[in-house]
Amino acid sequence: MSHLKYFAYADHGVRLRELLHYSQAVRVGDCIECSGQCTSFPKVDEPRLTTSGGWDPKTGDVPKDLSQELENIFTNIDLNLRDAGGKGWDQVFKVRLYTTVLDEENVGKFIALLRQWTPNHTPILTAVVVAGLSAPTLHFEVEVEAHDPEEAVESN
């Protein structure tokens, strides 16, 4: 049976682990699964049920521009995967997008970022429109799964 290893990247990821008792990523053998990355988040000193997000990974600040928030999601996923010992988006094979808005501009931005971060492969994608996420300010949440066989061999 694979051994579970939990990760929370420095600064805001660690603060969220301490405040909300969840990890940013878990490694199960040669796979890494990331906690959902959202586009917005209440300040850490205002505890509410929520998930990780499109904030600045050091300060937790969320930009007002939704396009920048989407970019932060992809950057934070890459940081999250590397913190768990992976090599980033090159190893992502599955993407789950939850969204409260399904408009051409934001979906187009998401697809452009997916192409930018995975230029050499096309991961599978599930997109689900939901009535709401864990906070009223959330518009997007993205979960990924990655396969990292080299690290799994090294850690055995």
Q: What is the CATH number of the domain that holds 107?
A: 3.30.1330.40
What H or E segment, with its residue span, contains residue 25? strand 25-28
Output the pLDDT for position 46.
43
Radius of gyration in angstroms for the set of CA atoms belonging to the chain, rounded to a whole number: 15
| Per-residue pLDDT reduced to its tens digit, 80-91 | 899 999 999 999
Question: In which band, very low, low, confident or very high, does the pLDDT at 55 lie, cut at 50, 70 and 90?
Answer: low
Domain that holds residue 91: 4-155
User: Could you give phi then psi for residue 141, rounded to 5 degrees?
Assistant: -140, 135
* Mean pLDDT of the chain, nearest integer: 80
Instruction: State how many domains the chain has.
Output: 1
Dmax over Cα atoms in the chain, in whole Å?
45
- Only one residue has tokens 């970022």, namely 113
What is the number of other CB atoms lying within 10 angstroms of the CB of residue 90? 15
> In this predicted model, which residue has the larger pLDDT, 117 or 68?
117
pLDDT at 62: 57
